[in-house]
Amino acid sequence: MHLLKRILSVIPVVFGVLLLTFLLIHLVPGDPVEVMLGESASLSDSAALREELGLNQPLIVQFGQYLNKLAHGDLGHSIHTKTPISELIQARYPATVKLAFVALCLGLLIGVPMGIYAALHAGHWQDFVITIISVRFSAMPAFWLGPLLMLLFAVWLGWLPVSGMESHASVVLPALTLGFGLSAILTRMTRTSLLEVLNDDFIRTARAKGLSERTVILRHALRAALLPIITIVGLQMGSLLAGTVITETIFSWDGIGRLLVESIEKRDYPVTQACVLIVALSYVLINLVTDILYQVADPRMRHA
């Protein structure tokens, strides 16, 4: 029941997202057609575009047409290349998913072990150093961290490619840039929740049974500390997705974020609109899945 309610709660949010992205093109100051095509555009071109975008209809009719087209999987056409936008998105989306996925994995692979290490050394200097780094540097923006990593690992050390996406190694630097904030937050979260759990009775029992410290930590404590980690990952997916815009731009990674920036530069607003919509809808979906996973992982949450 709760699950159904949660799924239904998505409907008004999705409607709002659609409305906001629809209104985007109407916020262009002056005549959007003129802004997009430039002042030198011929009258027939302008008229054709106006017709295609339905701009000469009342706003409410336009919104209806927008929804109708979306329902048929039609995102419109690029103004400049005339390519269907759904094709552009299909071509670019996998790259962004790959980047975000690797970033997520790196965030987990760095953050969780660091958090465990800090928790096991709580109160010692190792814990102190890790906490300082994870607190102070979690807010390091991509446009600063990216160039730093690029300078260090690509330009000075020459270990990894500077940018582009030719080899498998190319994904490392952008993914590190993107996953860094996540790993810092995960470090703090893992440390805190592990420290809370380590004082519980069931851990004492596990130790009293004579289990090795390794088993106690990995099998008993970490499993109980997993829930906050799932939540954090879900919550952080938003900044991860938004972060792809700048990260992809820095590293010339041909994903949806770069498509968005390119479309802005070319004033190809239907493409801009579609990119924003797709990213926002992905985010809504991820949040929904996180919530459901959370309930599956912890039966207590079903009645909360």
Q: Whose Cβ is closer to other proteins: residue 155's or residue 218's?
A: 155
- Of the two residues 140 and 203, which places its CB atom closer to other proteins in the complex? 140
Task: Evaluate whether 90 touches 73 at the Cβ level (below 8 Å).
Answer: no
Positions in the binding site for other proteins (CB under 8 A): 12-14, 16-17, 19-21, 24-25, 27-29, 35, 136, 139-144, 146-148, 150-151, 155, 237-243, 245-246, 249-250, 260-261, 264-265, 269, 272-273, 276, 279-280, 283-284
Contact (Cβ atoms closer than 8 angstroms) between residue 75 and residue 274: yes
Q: How far is the CB of 208 from other proteins (least distance, A)?
A: 36
Q: How far is the CB of 187 from other proteins (least distance, A)?
A: 17
The tally of CA atoms less than 13 A away on the side-chain side of residue 104 is 18
- The one-character DSSP state at 116 is H
CA 22 to CA 42: how far, in whole Å?
26
Contact 21, 277 (CB under 8 A): yes
Q: How far apart are CA 250 and CA 267, in angstroms?
A: 20
Shortest distance (Å) from residue 41 CB to other proteins = 18
Q: Which is nearer to other proteins, 134 or 272 (CB)?
A: 272
- Distance CA(42)–CA(58), nearest Å, equals 24
Smaller CB distance to other proteins: residue 47 or 155? 155
**Nearest CB to other proteins, comparing residues 218 and 285:** 285
DSSP per residue, 179-240? HHHHHHHHHHHHHHHHHHHHTSHHHHHHHHTT--HHHIIIIIIHHHTHHHHHHHHHHHHHHH
- C-alpha angle with apex 105: 102 to 111, nearest 5 degrees? 135
- Give me the residues paired with residue 84 across strands: 77
In angstroms, what is the minimal distance from the CB of 33 to other proteins? Answer: 13
Distance CA 244, CA 221 (A): 34
Residue 70 CB, shortest distance to other proteins, in Å, is: 16
The H or E element spanning position 260 is helix 256-265
Q: Return the number of the residue (183 or 273) whose C-beta is nearest other proteins.
A: 273
Q: How far is the CB of 44 from other proteins (least distance, A)?
A: 25
Kindly state the smallest distance separating residue 162's Cβ from other proteins, in Å.
8
Which residue's CB is nearer to other proteins, number 187 or number 249? Answer: 249
